[in-house]
Amino acid sequence: MKPDFKPKKHLGQNFLFDRNILGKIAASIKLKGNDTVLEIGPGLGTLTDFLAKEAEEVIAVEVDRRAVSLLKDKFRDSSNVRIVNCDFLKYSIPGKYSGKKIKVVGNIPYYITTPIIEHLIDLRKNIEDIFITVQKELAQRIIAPAASESYGSLSCFVQYYFKPEILFKIKPGSFWPAPKVESVLLRLSPYKEPPLKVRNEKLLFTIIRNSFAKRRKTIINALSFILDKELISSIIRDLGLKHDVRAEELSLKQMAEISESIERLVPYGLRANF
């Protein structure tokens, strides 16, 4: 660790230095010699070291110019490591990788975990697998099944695009400086064939967000801004759901069925709003 390198709090920097954990992460990715790895926030390059030994190419995207300078010096003799000084939320996968699936790994800043996942969803067509360290509580929300305490709009959003899985826990002492929360390594595997498909994804996520934002309301009341309550009630009945069902009781599949039913009924002029 560089004693003169002071982590920047506003960048959410908590560098992972525990070599046992770094080794477990590298082993979990199961890199092959022809793999290209996109690393989000390499920091001081502790994980990059492991990745560079196994992958054909490592693209390390780092926003902190101080860290970029250290990384370029550290990997100056590593021809398979490319350092990119860029905010990952503005990063696009270069066109030369359009025909190749890459693996993504990162010890990401916890305060922008959701925006990073949203950006990865946008990039998913080029992604084979994702391995990121995240706050344990957030990971539990992501993997939560319907009717569980942690289940919410984030669960539905991520599970629509990825199969999420917590691989192992990481103690605060594995980081410098140590965060105040427990962490996990989360795997997000893009579906080769989506288990669910709706005609209007924007409508689906509008339904999900509004339903969970009004947890105390029944679905019929929560969605009355889209259609008349009688029509929503008819949809709920036709789907075999109870009249007073609430968002947390509905699976993603059932949310999708409601979305598809509303899509067929909503006036064409309003459809452009979703």
Cα–Cα distance measured from residue 83 to residue 70, given in angstroms and rounded to the nearest whole number: 10
* Residue 14, annotated as binding a ligand: yes
Neighbours of 3 (CB within 10 A): 5
* Residue 62, annotated as binding a ligand: yes
Task: Determine which helix (DSSP H) or strand (DSSP E) holds 19, and give its type and residue range.
Answer: helix 19-29
Q: Using an 8 Å Cβ cutoff, are 265 and 239 in contact?
A: no
Do β-strands 15-16 and 175-176 pair in parallel, antiparallel, or remain unpaired? antiparallel
Q: Phi, psi (5° rounding) for residue 237?
A: -65, -45
* Residue 34, annotated as binding a ligand: no
Cα–Cα distance measured from residue 211 to residue 207, given in angstroms and rounded to the nearest whole number: 6
Neighbours of 206 (CB within 10 A): 18
Helix axes 153-161, 113-122, angle to 10 degrees: 30
Task: Determine which helix (DSSP H) or strand (DSSP E) holds 118, and give its type and residue range.
Answer: helix 113-122
* Residue 210, annotated as binding a ligand: no
Q: Phi, psi (5° rounding) for residue 90?
A: -110, 5
Cα–Cα distance measured from residue 87 to residue 55, given in angstroms and rounded to the nearest whole number: 23
* Residue 87, annotated as binding a ligand: yes
Q: Which of helix, strand or coil describes residue 92?
A: coil
Which residue from 30, 90, 76 is spatially nearest to 55, judged by alpha carbons? 30
Q: Using an 8 Å Cβ cutoff, are 67 and 42 in contact?
A: yes
Do β-strands 81-85 and 36-40 pair in parallel, antiparallel, or remain unpaired? unpaired
* Residue 249, annotated as binding a ligand: no
Q: Which amino acids are annotated as binding site for S-adenosyl-L-methionine, given as ranges?
A: 14, 16, 41, 62, 87, 107
Detail the residues annotated as belonging to a binding site.
Answer: 14, 16, 41, 62, 87, 107
